[in-house]
Structure 1
Amino acid sequence: MLEVSNLSLAFGDLVLADDMSFRLNTGQTHVIIGPNGTGKSSLLKTLFGDIRPQKGSIQFSGEVFNVKNVTQWRRQFGYMPQDIRLDVGLSVLEVVLLGQLNALSLKLGDSLLEEALFALEQIGLVSLANQDVRTLSGGQCQMVLFAQALMRKPKILMLDEPVSALDLHFQQVMLNHLDQQTKANGWVSLMILHDLNLAAQYADNLLVLKGGRLVAQGAPADILTPQLIKDVYGVNVDIEFDGGGVPFVRTHRFSGQAGIHSNTSQIKAVS
């Protein structure tokens, strides 16, 4: 279990975490949703140790994070930040192999190569193994970095907007594989998604952030309501449920300029 207790984080007057506490169980996919600028990416960076909080504690399986154990702490993570540029003269296979950097030597063992190729095969990119990563599309780069994160054999897998550049097919490929591997290996998987319907479909546990606070947490079917979405995003929606009990969110169109003016006032409020 990854446990966050009384976490506070701020940059100047912008509060990104205000006495925030939550627990993330192993073997589950946890999804963070919330408006732009509410601290979702900063929360992941804090859990990884890139940002030091003003207050609070983070622990996993009894180990408490501190500045002295940051190197050892990060070895437990597979972390895929958003907007990573692969501007290096490496092949797709070589980039995936970097996920096992600690195990690499001058001579690669067959088992490590087979593992990397298998990771690419699982996400449908094995045909690109020898291609220069600089020639890939943004979506292909996201999939390659996902395979690299899996090669790290993480205990905690964190993905920041991992499907933002993916088409519908590869969104399903990545998120299905993530869910399967999380449950099979007992990982704590935590990702940020903006698509509420993907979040509802794949999250075992949903964390809803607004204004530096955790305003709701739980199974999507239990917590996603029109009122919650109105309160968090300022948008009117209808929610329906499919045959499996998964909620589907349908937004209403803004009338005239009302949505634009409302959005502008929200941006001014957090800037």
Structure 2
Amino acid sequence: MLQVTNLNIALDDLILAKDMSFHLKPGKVNVIIGPNGTGKSTLLKTLFGDIQTESGEISFANQTLQRKQLSHWRKQFGYMPQDIRLDVELSALEVVLLGQLDSLGLRLDDSVIKEALSALDKIGLLHLADKQVNKLSGGQCQMILFAQALMRKPKILMLDEPVSALDLHFQHVLLDHLDAQTKEQNWVTIMVLHDLNLAAQYADNLLVLKDGKLVASGHPSDILTPSLVESVYKVKAEVTRDTAGVPFVRTIRKSRSVTTKSISPKEQTMNVKESVYQAS
């Protein structure tokens, strides 16, 4: 279990976490949602050890995050940050193999290569194995980095907006595979998403952040309500449920009054004649 207790994070004068506490169980997909600038990505970076905490404790499997043991702590993670650029002359297969960087030697074992090829195959990109990643689309690179994260065989898998560059098909390919692997491998999976409906479909547990605070947590069907959406995002929304009971969020556009003036057929004719006269 990943345990966070009384976590406080501040960057300059900006408070990004204030007395935040939660615990995440293995085998569950945890999705972090909330407005821009509320500390979602910062929280992932802090769990990974990239950002120093003001106070509080982060622990997993009887180990506490400490700066002096950071490399050992990070070995437990598969981490896919937001907006990574793949401006390198490596093939897709080589990038996936880097997920096993700690155990790679001068000679690659055939079993490791087969595993990397299998990872590409499961996400539908086996045909790109020998293609240079700097010539691929942003969405294809995002999927390849996902396969690399899986190759690390993590105990904790963190993904920051992993579907931001993907079309509808590959959004579900990635998230379906992520969900299946989380439960099969008993990972603690933490993911940042902006799409509330994808979050509702794939989260076993939602963590809702606002102004550096955890304002709600729980299963989407229990906490995703119109009042929560309005409170957190400042927009009105309808929340319905599909046949499986999964919440569906539809935001309501703010009404605007438009004043229209009726024009009689006679006025329309006069306007047309005036336009023709001016044109000539």
**Partners in 2 of 1:228 and 1:62 — Cα distance?**
35
* 2:225 paired with 1:207: no
Match of 1:85 in 2: 85
SS at match of 2:244: coil
Match of 2:262 in 1: none
**Partners in 2 of 1:212 and 1:256 — Cα distance?**
33
**Partners in 2 of 1:102 and 1:114 — Cα distance?**
18
* CA positional deviation for 1:71: 0.2
* CA positional deviation for 1:206: 0.2
**Partners in 1 of 2:117 and 2:29 — Cα distance?**
25
Q: 1:1-271 residue pairs with structure 2 within 5 A?
A: 1-256=1-256
Taking every aligned residue pair, what percent have the same amino acid on both sides?
Answer: 67
* Deviation by residue 1:16-64 (Cα, 9 ceiling, x = unmatched): 0001000000000000000000000000000000001000000001111
SS at match of 2:230: helix
* CA positional deviation for 1:254: 2.1
Equivalent residues, number: 257
* Deviation by residue 1:94-139 (Cα, 9 ceiling, x = unmatched): 0000000012112111100000000000000000000000011000
**Partners in 1 of 2:169 and 2:185 — Cα distance?**
24
* CA positional deviation for 1:14: 1.1
SS at match of 1:29: strand
Farther-moved stretch of structure 1 (146-155 vs 101-110):
101-110
One-letter amino acid of the structure 2 residue matched with residue 133 of structure 1: V
* Deviation by residue 1:62-104 (Cα, 9 ceiling, x = unmatched): 1111111100000000000001000111000000000000121
One-letter amino acid of the structure 2 residue matched with residue 254 of structure 1: K
SS at match of 2:83: coil
SS at match of 1:207: strand
SS at match of 1:254: coil
* CA positional deviation for 1:12: 2.1
**Partners in 1 of 2:256 and 2:11 — Cα distance?**
35
* CA positional deviation for 1:13: 2.1
> Tell me, which stretches of 5 or more residues in structure 1 are unaligned?
258-271
SS at match of 2:31: strand
SS at match of 1:140: helix
* CA positional deviation for 1:244: 1.1
**Partners in 2 of 1:215 and 1:69 — Cα distance?**
31
Q: Which has the larger radius of gyration?
A: 2
* CA positional deviation for 1:5: 0.2
**Partners in 1 of 2:255 and 2:155 — Cα distance?**
46
SS at match of 1:36: coil
Give structure 1 regions of 4+ aligned residues with deviation exceeding 6 angstroms: none
SS at match of 1:41: helix
Farther-moved stretch of structure 1 (10-19 vs 87-96):
10-19
Match of 2:266 in 1: none
**Partners in 2 of 1:237 and 1:188 — Cα distance?**
31
